[in-house]
């Protein structure tokens, strides 16, 4: 997606224009009363400086292009983060949505600070770019919606743990049934043959060279049940953010005692009940969580789109 | 926010400015302004030099103290500024109010210089430097008010350069680019040049206000020995010692005619030196003298004993002159200010009927014919102003002229002839046989002279005792303004029409930048004045053209540009332009031509593909492209296929060894022949891709549902 922007507009234009008009009128009065041609010539030069200084930034701002070079993938609501922005010319850049501080980017790239207010995935940022080229006499600004270099998952602000969110523990075997055996936890037990889904970093190369087949490390697996947390968002507004925050606080508290934690949430494409092993996993899961109503609306819309596509395919066989 | 808080917020110092280029540019801009004021005489050289040194020292001090400004410094500088204003008000209080621009401009320059010098010691931030740049504008404006010639343009160019660098550096400092960007400065300069040129062309020429007190000054005064006598320069007047001399330097205003008599038998050497500059609302003849008595070779003025009295007008400037008798007072007011560049006689030039003279003298002399002389000769740098009534009578109005006629004494004076001139009279009657009015007769004679005489300054000497008019009209009919105008005057006098000879200068070329007419020595001229009842003396010039109004700057610039273009030699210019264009094309072709054989072959295959309507893809290999070309246009048996050419090129590119000269040339030639062989076809249009059903919408702020973050 290409960035979308509005027309440039001047900032605080009244003062500079009034000052310019007063100066030019004074020059004209002196020239046309004294008859001095050089005064008129100087006034013409002053008019040229005024046009270039007051109108030039509008053109510079219109030609200005902004892009996000890099950005982090995870953040927390109400916490500042920085993204790297590139401009085609020196400019002042300020994040508008999410809001942030203004930064002057001289040439090339610069870092812009912004503070996401809400949790959720962030694909775009609205930036206000301003230029006063070539003379710095008047700023012109415009707002540009710029896609991020990669999705940014904004986690909710962690809240206090909520015991009401605890759900039935999940047996370790049940966990293993849905996921490949993982040796991230437990005491080392030995090596075993590679199974589909094993992380590449678990490959035990000496054993592999000895056996002639891929071998991975294996650890003792605790037999204790995996605790579960269910987070049901009432809506996708501030109340839902608060619930998600408490859910995050609950999961983080459980993770300090044991890992993993089974987290049940609802996402846009339906319920999701999977283990989270770190705070970052939990934060990202809760960033993606939506309320049940949103999930139903999304699935209904998808169903309508699928049926519309099927109807068109049925009507126009050659478009299949 | 209270008023005090607002004032404090407005005066809060900004962050220190570290850009050295910006400070140097602003200092230079102010220094150029001070130098310009000194060049125009508004500041003495010592004051200007001291101010420039102080500016540099002050800005250096400010730069060193930019992060630690002295708290008591502002108070000290404010006191100094107040003293400067006080001194300024005292200086202008002696002038004739603010209408006396000449008395205000000098103190104004001093005031602005003081302000800039004191300000330079407290310039820590960018905003303060911007104030310095703005201050340089005022200094340049004050200097421009006194500038009379194009030499001021040097200061303008220097100041513009300093401003461009300064403002560009200011943006560089604001925008964080750090260094001055050449592209920024050039873009600003181009915009500035275009807008300034448009303003100069479109705006009308400035006119002088009649409510002002006009500047006057006198440079080098040599008192006149006799009342109303004509004196030359301080070096004294001289005349050539023999007649019929076509060369020879004279000291009387650079023109021989500015002497007691106008001897038509001699002519001085008239060069290109500027004699004076004139600021006027409209171009006119700048009258020096008029003559009424003709003796066959020379024009003279009737001496006072014949009833013509010089009148002394005393009382100081401005001098009010009596209205010329016979004129009805119609016409438009024209204000002319004369700036003498060369020393001149005590003649006060003017346009037609003079009403008022601003001249720095105790008294001036005026005769009933309107000739004006001062009681002192004028050196270079003299300035005086004349307010005249310029006739606007149309030919139709002159044709119907009636009313007050000259009294018999003056009628006899202005129709005086040394002898009857029978042949001249018969010729004049013959030419004006069908003209019934004075205006028609004058025009008929002018037209006849335009078709039957030739203008040239290379004429044989007048034989001793010969009559100038007889020799001109019935001899070779070759002469310059004196012969032509004298002949016209004599012919009119034979018809009984009151006529007199006038000498002075034509308007000279108009400079749209300075708004001044630059009168050169070669602009000296003689013409005829004819009396019209009710309208007075009207100018008629059979040898020169006088425009009706001030030319607009656009017309003048266009005329000058066309004139300059017309002087450009055509053949050498065309030859140079053709060679330059060929060189540029060769360089562009060479720079875009691939250096390797594979590159040239690849370029040729791409041209062949486009010619056949195929669009080469960036991801497509050369053999694949060649296969498409062969499918489109199978090669004849005797020609290699595109595939074979591509294979050979790839072998050369990736084989690590460039092909030998002849082989490479042959391969490239085959590729180019392939281009000509492919039939030309129109490129097929590509249908726009249908948007996918699951493509993310522009308003969505979430990732597409298909992607799952891990």
Q: What was the pLDDT predicted at B686?
A: 47
Please give the pLDDT value at position B327. Answer: 55
| Strand locations in B368-431 (E) | 372-374, 383-390
Query: CA B284 to CA B216: how far, in whole Å?
Result: 21
Sheet holding B298-300, edge to edge: B262-263, B298-300, B293-294
Any idea what DSSP says for residue B578? H
Residue-wise pLDDT tens digits, B361-391:
888 888 888 888 887 777 888 889 999 888 7
Q: What's residue B53's pLDDT?
A: 94
pLDDT score, position A293: 84
For residue B446, report the phi and psi dihedrals to the nearest 5 degrees.
-60, -45
Across B42-65, average pLDDT: 92
Per-residue CA distances from A227 to A161, A165, A176, A178, A183 (Å):
14, 11, 14, 16, 18
Closest partner residue to A36 (CB to CB) among B145, B175, B178 is B145
Strand partners, A129: A93, A142
- Partners of A125 in beta bridges: A146
Q: Band of the pLDDT at A315, cuts 50, 70, 90?
A: low
Does residue A107 have a pLDDT over 90?
no
Report the C-alpha gap between B123 and B317 in whole angstroms.
47
A138-156 residue pLDDT tens: 999 999 999 998 889 999 9
In this structure, chain B runs to a length of 710
Residues B702, B85: Cα–Cα separation, whole Å: 66
Does the distance separating the beta carbons of A284 and B144 come in below 8 Å?
no
Contact A38 B513 (CB under 8 A): yes
Confidence band of B481 (pLDDT split at 50, 70, 90): confident
Q: Are B310 and B365 in contact (CB under 8 A)?
A: yes
The token pair at B628 is 């498409």
pLDDT tops 90 at residue B708: no
What mean pLDDT do residues B311-337 have? 76
B572: pLDDT strictly greater than 90 = no
| Chain A residues 204-263 with CB within 8 Å of chain B | none
Q: Are B366 and B311 in contact (CB under 8 A)?
A: yes
Report the pLDDT averaged over residues B173-198. 82
CB contact under 8 A, A1 and B696: yes
pLDDT exceeds 80 at position B254: no
pLDDT band at B237; cut points 50, 70, 90: very low
Verify whether the Cβ–Cβ distance A123 to B174 is below 8 Å.
no
Of B117-131, B490-504, B579-593, B620-634, least confident by mean pLDDT is: B579-593
Closest by Cα among B483, B419, B473 to B263: B483
CA distance A184 to chain B (A): 16
Mean pLDDT of B636-640: 84
Task: Please state which of the ranges A304-318, B238-252, B624-638 shows the lowest mean pLDDT.
Answer: B238-252
The mean pLDDT value for A28-44 works out to: 82
| β-bridge mates for residue B538, sequence order | B530
**Beta strand extents in B473-515 (DSSP E only):** 478-479, 499-505, 510-511
Average pLDDT over residues A44-49: 92
Q: Would you state the structure tokens that stand for residue B351, as one six-digit string?
A: 């346009």
Cα B273-B274-B278 angle, rounded to 5 deg = 165
Query: With bands split at pLDDT 50, 70 and 90, how would you rate the model's confidence at B233?
Result: very low
Picking from B126, B114, B110, the residue whose alpha carbon sits closest to that of residue B77 is B114
Cα B599 off chain centre by? 55
Least reliable range by pLDDT among B152-166, B431-445, B588-602: B588-602
User: Helix B182-202 crosses helix B553-566 at what angle (to 10 degrees)?
Assistant: 110
Q: Which stretch of A71-80, B29-38, B633-642 has the lowest confidence by average pLDDT?
A: B633-642
CB atoms within 10 A of CB B702: 17
What is the average pLDDT across A191-195?
84
C-alpha to C-alpha distance for B13 and A88, rounded to whole angstroms: 32
Asked if A47 and B511 come within 8 Å (Cβ–Cβ), the reply is no
Determine the 3-state secondary structure of B193 from DSSP. Answer: helix
Q: Residue B426: is its pLDDT beyond 70?
A: yes
Which residue among B174, B191, B700 sits closest to A51, beta carbon to beta carbon? B191
- Per-residue confidence (pLDDT) for residue A29, from 0 to 100: 81
Give the pLDDT confidence score for residue B325 in this predicted structure. 58
B408, exposed or middle or buried, with CB in 10 Å at 0-12, 13-18, 19+? Answer: exposed
Nearest by Cα to B529 from B494, B479, B495, B493: B493
Q: Output B9 or B449, whichever has higher pLDDT.
A: B449
pLDDT > 90? residue B429: yes
> Which band of pLDDT confidence, cut at 50, 70 and 90, is reported for residue B701?
very low
CA of A93: which chain B residue's CA is closest? B175
Can you tell me the distance from the alpha carbon of B676 to that of B679, in angstroms, rounded to the nearest whole number?
8
Residue A79 contacts B, CB cutoff 8 Å: no
pLDDT band at B163 (very low <50, low <70, confident <90, very high): very high
R_g of chain B, CA atoms, integer Å? 39
Q: What's the mean per-residue pLDDT of chain A?
A: 82
**Phi first, then psi: what are they for A278, rounded to 5°?**
-135, 170
Q: Rounded to a whole number, what is the distance in Å from the CA of B227 to chain A's nearest CA? A: 34
Asked if A184 is an interface residue toward chain B (Cβ–Cβ < 8 A), one would say no
pLDDT at residue B162 tops 90: yes
Name the residue of chain A whose CA is nearest to B177's CA.
A106
Kindly report the backbone phi and psi dihedral angles of residue A146, in degrees, each rounded to the nearest multiple of 5, phi listed first: -120, 135
Residue of chain B nearest A147, judged by CA positions: B701
The distance in angstroms from the start CA to the end CA of chain B is 53
Which segments within B400-464 are labelled E, that is strand?
A: 454-455
pLDDT above 90 coverage of chain B, percent: 20
pLDDT of residue B492: 95
What average pLDDT score do residues B580-608 get?
A: 82
Closest CA to A90 of A139, A159, A126: A139
pLDDT in tens, A218-242: 765 555 567 888 888 988 888 999 9
Residues A88-103 have a mean pLDDT of: 83
Q: Can you give the pLDDT at residue A96?
A: 86
Q: To the nearest whole angstrom, how far is the Cα of B710 from the nearest Cα of chain A?
A: 8
Measured in angstroms, the CA of A73 and the nearest CA of chain B are apart by 10
pLDDT greater than 90 at residue B524: no
A121, containing H or E segment: strand A120-131
In this predicted model, which residue has the larger pLDDT, A179 or A108?
A: A108
Chain A residues near residue B104 by CB distance under 8 angstroms: none
Closest listed residue to residue A250, CA positions, set A241, A263, A240, A238? A263
Asked if residue B153 has pLDDT above 50, the reply is: yes
Predicted confidence band of residue B546 (pLDDT cuts 50, 70, 90): very low
| Cβ-contact B666, A230 below 8 angstroms | no
The least confident of B43-47, B152-156, B398-402 is: B398-402
**What DSSP state is assigned to residue B499?**
E
**B86-90, B119-123, B240-244, B473-477: least confidently modelled range:** B240-244
Q: Best of B130, B141, B169, B707 to disrupt the A interface by mutation (most A CBs within 10 Å)? A: B141
Q: Collapsing DSSP states into helix, strand and coil, what is residue A263? A: strand
Closest CA relative to residue B549, chosen from B149, B287, B205 = B205
Residue pLDDT, tens place only, A157-169? 998 888 887 776 6
Distance between CA atoms of residues A303 and B386, nearest Å: 95
* Beta strands B298-300; B293-294: pairing state: antiparallel
Q: Are B500 and B538 in contact (CB under 8 A)?
A: no
Residue B450 in tokens: 């335009």
Structure tokens at B216: 């006057």
Q: How would you class B677 by CB atoms within 10 Å of its CB: exposed for 0-12, middle for 13-18, buried for 19 or more? A: middle
Closest approach of A210 to chain B, Cα-based (Å):
34
The torsion region of residue B450 among left (phi > 0), alpha (psi -120 to 50) and beta comes to alpha
- Looking at residue A53, the DSSP 8-state letter turns out to be I
Q: What average pLDDT does the segment A87-98 reach?
A: 87
Tokens of B529: 């004045």
DSSP code, position B392: -
DSSP label at residue B381: T
Q: Across chain B, what does the average pLDDT equal?
A: 79
Is pLDDT of B430 > 90?
yes
Least confident of A194-198, B106-110, B254-258: B254-258
The answer to whether B294 and B262 are in contact (CB under 8 A) is no
| Exposure letters B261-300 (e unless 16+ CB within 10 A, then b) | bbbbbbbbebeeebbbbbbbbbbbbbbbbbbbbbebbbbe
């Amino acid at each position: 997606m290409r960035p979308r922007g509005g027309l440039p507009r001047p900032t605080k234009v009244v003062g500079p224009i009034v000052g310019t008009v007063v100066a030019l009128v004074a020059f004209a009065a002196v020239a046309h009363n004294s008859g001095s041609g050089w005064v008129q010539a100087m006034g013409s030069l002053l008019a040229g400086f005024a046009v270039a200084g007051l109108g030039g930034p509008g053109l510079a701002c219109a030609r200005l292009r902004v892009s996000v070079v890099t950005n982090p993938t995870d953040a927390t609501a109400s916490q500042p983060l920085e993204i790297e922005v590139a401009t085609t010319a020196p400019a002042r850049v300020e994040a508008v949505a999410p809001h942030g501080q203004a930064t002057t980017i001289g040439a090339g790239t610069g870092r812009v600070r912004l503070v996401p207010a809400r949790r959720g995935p962030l694909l775009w940022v609205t930036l206000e770019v301003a230029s006063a080229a070539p003379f710095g006499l008047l700023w012109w600004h415009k707002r540009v919606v710029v896609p991020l270099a990669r999705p940014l998952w904004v986690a909710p602000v962690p809240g206090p743990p909520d015991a009401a969110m605890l759900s039935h523990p999940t047996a370790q075997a049940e966990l293993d049934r849905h996921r490949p055996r993982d040796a991230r936890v437990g005491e080392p037990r030995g090596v075993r043959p590679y199974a589909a889904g094993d992380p590449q970093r678990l490959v035990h190369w000496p054993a592999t060279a000895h056996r002639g087949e891929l071998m991975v490390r294996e650890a003792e697996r605790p037999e204790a049940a995996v605790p579960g947390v269910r987070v049901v968002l009432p809506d996708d507004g501030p109340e839902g953010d608060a619930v998600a925050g408490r859910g995050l606080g609950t999961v983080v508290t459980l993770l300090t005692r044991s890992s993993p934690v089974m987290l049940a949430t609802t996402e846009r494409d339906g319920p999701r009940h999977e283990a989270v092993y770190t705070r970052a996993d939990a934060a990202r899961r809760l960033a993606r969580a939506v309320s049940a109503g949103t999930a139903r609306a999304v699935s209904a819309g998808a169903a309508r789109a699928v049926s519309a596509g099927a109807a068109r395919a049925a009507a126009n066989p050659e478009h299949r | 926010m209270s008023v005090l808080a607002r004032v404090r917020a407005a005066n809060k110092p900004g962050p220190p400015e570290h850009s050295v280029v910006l400070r140097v540019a602003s200092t230079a801009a102010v220094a150029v302004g001070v130098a310009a004021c000194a060049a125009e005489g508004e500041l003495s050289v010592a004051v200007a030099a001291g101010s420039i040194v102080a500016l540099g020292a002050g800005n250096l001090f400010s730069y060193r103290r930019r992060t630690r400004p002295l708290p008591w410094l502002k108070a000290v500088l404010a006191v100094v500024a107040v003293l400067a204003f006080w001194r300024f008000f005292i200086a202008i209080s002696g002038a004739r109010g603010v209408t006396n621009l000449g008395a205000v401009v000098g103190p104004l320059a001093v005031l602005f210089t003081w302000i800039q010098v004191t300000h330079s010691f407290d310039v820590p931030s960018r905003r303060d430097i911007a104030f310095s740049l703005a201050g340089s504008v005022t200094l340049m404006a004050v200097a421009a008010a006194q500038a009379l010639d194009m030499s001021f343009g040097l200061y303008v160019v220097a100041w513009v350069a300093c401003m461009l660098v300064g403002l560009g550096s200011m943006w560089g400092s604001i925008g964080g680019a750090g260094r001055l960007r050449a592209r920024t400065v050039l873009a600003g300069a181009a915009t500035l040049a275009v807008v300034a040129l448009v303003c100069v062309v479109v705006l009308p020429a400035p006119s002088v206000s009649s409510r002002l007190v006009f500047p006057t000054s006198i440079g080098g005064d040599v008192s006149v020995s006799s009342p109303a006598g004509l004196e030359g320069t301080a070096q004294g007047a001289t005349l050539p010692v023999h007649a019929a001399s076509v060369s020879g330097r004279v000291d009387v205003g650079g023109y021989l005619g500015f002497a007691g008599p106008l001897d038509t038998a001699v002519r001085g050497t008239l060069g290109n030196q500027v004699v004076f500059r004139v600021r006027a609302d409209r171009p006119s003849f700048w009258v020096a003298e008029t003559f009424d008595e003709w003796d066959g070779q020379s024009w003279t003025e009737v001496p006072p004993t014949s009833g013509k009295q010089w009148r002394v007008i005393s009382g100081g400037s401005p001098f009010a002159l009596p209205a010329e008798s016979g004129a009805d007072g119609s016409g438009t007011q024209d204000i002319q200010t004369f700036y003498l560049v060369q020393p001149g006689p005590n003649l006060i030039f003017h346009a037609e009927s003079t009403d008022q003279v601003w001249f720095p003298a105790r008294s001036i002399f005026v005769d009933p014919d309107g000739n004006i002389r001062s009681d002192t000769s004028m050196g270079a740098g003299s300035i005086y102003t004349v307010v005249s009534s310029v006739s606007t009578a149309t030919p139709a109005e002159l044709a119907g002229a009636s009313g007050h006629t000259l009294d018999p004494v003056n009628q006899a004076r202005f129709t005086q002839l040394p002898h009857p001139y029978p042949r001249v009279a018969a010729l004049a009657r013959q030419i004006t046989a069908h003209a019934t009015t004075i205006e028609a007769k004058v025009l008929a004679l002018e037209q006849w002279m335009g078709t039957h005489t030739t203008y040239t300054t290379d004429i044989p000497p007048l034989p001793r005792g010969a009559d100038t008019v007889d020799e001109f009209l019935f001899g070779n009919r070759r002469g310059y303004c004196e012969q032509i105008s004298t002949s016209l005057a004599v012919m009119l006098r034979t018809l009984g029409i009151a006529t007199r000879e006038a000498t002075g200068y034509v308007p000279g070329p108009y400079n749209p930048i300075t708004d001044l007419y630059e009168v050169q020595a070669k602009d000296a001229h003689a013409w005829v004045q004819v009396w019209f009842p009710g309208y007075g003396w009207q100018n008629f010039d059979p040898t020169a053209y006088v425009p009706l109004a001030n030319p607009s700057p656009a017309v003048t610039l266009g005329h000058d540009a066309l004139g300059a273009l017309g002087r450009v030699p055509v053949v050498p210019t065309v030859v140079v332009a053709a060679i330059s264009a060929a060189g540029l094309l060769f360089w562009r072709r060479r720079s875009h031509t691939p250096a390797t054989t594979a590159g040239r072959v690849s370029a040729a295959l791409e041209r062949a593909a486009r010619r056949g309507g195929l669009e080469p893809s960036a991801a497509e290999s050369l053999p694949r492209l060649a296969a498409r070309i062969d499918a489109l246009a199978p090669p004849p048996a005797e020609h290699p296929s595109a595939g074979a050419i591509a294979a050979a090129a790839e072998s050369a590119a990736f084989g690590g060894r460039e092909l030998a000269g002849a082989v490479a040339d042959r391969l490239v030639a085959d590729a180019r022949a392939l281009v000509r062989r492919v039939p030309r076809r129109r490129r097929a249009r590509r249908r726009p891709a249908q948007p996918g059903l699951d493509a993310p919408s522009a308003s969505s702020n979430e990732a597409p549902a298909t992607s799952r973050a891990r």
